[in-house]
Amino acid sequence: MGFTIAIDGPAASGKGTISKAVARHYDFGHLDTGLLYRAVGRRMLDGQEPVAAAKALLAEDLAADGLRIPEVAQAASKVAVIPEVRAALVDFQRAYARRAGGAVLDGRDIGTVICPDAEAKLFITASAEVRARRRYDELCANGVQTDYQTVLADTRERDHRDSSRADAPLLAAGDAVVLDTSDMDIGAAVSAAIAAVDAAY
Ligand code: C5P
């Protein structure tokens, strides 16, 4: 029997790092569902129609270079508004969630839409300022030229688009454990996440 851990939250909340650590802790598979939308966003920037791109998406696309850049993140949040794009990506995510051996899926709508019956649900959040600071530091470390105010504006724009869309908006499931990581370092956040999952096990 599969065991599914749904981890949702806004950009740079720490959910990616937490999800990887939680998957490692339980020896579960991990699917970063943002990569699906980023891969479709990448194809849109290359001139493809997003719904057709989502229907044609292959597992290999998730390993493509250049999916982590800000331009692709914005394109991802634009294609993510389109209901047909979201619909085309549902089966792949649900199949992954039920894989033998357990799965961690992280995204925006895992606990609400993709896996409403997940055995454990977490919603990871932090203030926009803290998240923008983390993203800024990460981009600088990767040699991307930017400034904090641009990253903050970008974070707020993406939050707004993700939260206000009609289909599967960014929202904590009613039965999710909410973890605000604004004042936590990553070690403390990972420990709190594992404690919350253990409580559901
Ligand atoms: O998590 P990440 O920043 O990689 O996600 C990129 C974009 O993909 C998000 O801003 C969001 O619009 C979209 N997304 C989504 N549903 C998910 C995961 C990501 O709409 N489950």
pLDDT (tens digit per residue) in 9-53:
999 999 999 999 999 999 999 999 999 999 999 999 999 999 999
Comparison of pLDDT for 119 and 142, the residue scoring more: 119
SS3 201: coil
Mutate to test the pocket of ligand 1, among 40, 82, 106, 108 (most ligand atoms within 8 A of CB): 108
Residue at 186: amino acid letter = I
Residue 2, CA distances (Å) to 101, 103, 106, 128, 173 in order: 6, 7, 16, 34, 20
Nearest CA to ligand 1 atom 12: 77
Give mean pLDDT, residues 91-96.
Answer: 96
Expressed in angstroms and rounded, the spacing between residue 129 Cα and the centre of ligand 1 is 19
Under a CB-based contact definition with an 8 Å cutoff, are residues 44 and 78 in contact?
Answer: yes
Residue among 42, 77, 96, 124 to mutate when testing ligand 1 (max atoms within 8 A of CB): 77
Instruction: Write the CB contacts of 65 (distance below 8 Å, at least 6 apart in sequence).
Output: none
Rounded Cα gap, residues 201 and 198, in angstroms: 5
**11 marked as binding residue:** yes
Contacts of 16 (CB under 8 A, 6+ apart): 32, 34, 106
Asked if the model's pLDDT at residue 107 lies above 80, the reply is yes
Residue 12 is labelled as binding a ligand: yes
The per-residue pLDDT for 60 is 87
Split at pLDDT 50, 70, 90, the class of 59 is confident
Burial, 82: exposed, middle or buried (Cβ in 10 Å; 0-12, 13-18, 19+)?
A: middle
- Is the confidence at residue 1, as pLDDT, over 80? no
Contact indicator for 8, 173 with CB cutoff of 8 Å: yes
Ligand 1 atom, smallest distance to 161 CA = 12
* pLDDT over threshold 90, residue 122: yes
Residue 27, pLDDT score: 97
**Per-residue pLDDT at 2:** 80
Average pLDDT of the chain is 95
Residue 85 has pLDDT above 80, yes or no: yes
pLDDT digits (tens, 9 = 90+) for 124-137: 999 999 999 999 99
CA-closest candidate to residue 18, choices 140, 200, 183, 179? 179
The DSSP line for 112-152 is III-TT-SEEEEEE--HHHHHHHHHHHHHHTT----HHHHH
Which residue owns the Cα nearest ligand 1 atom 4? 34
Q: What would the mean pLDDT of 82-92 be, rounded to a whole number?
A: 97
The ipTM of this complex is 0.98
How much is the pLDDT for 200? 86
Residue 107, phi then psi, degrees to nearest 5? 180, -140
The pick from 37, 44, 45, 106 for probing ligand 1's pocket by mutation, whose C-beta has the most ligand atoms within 8 angstroms, reads: 37
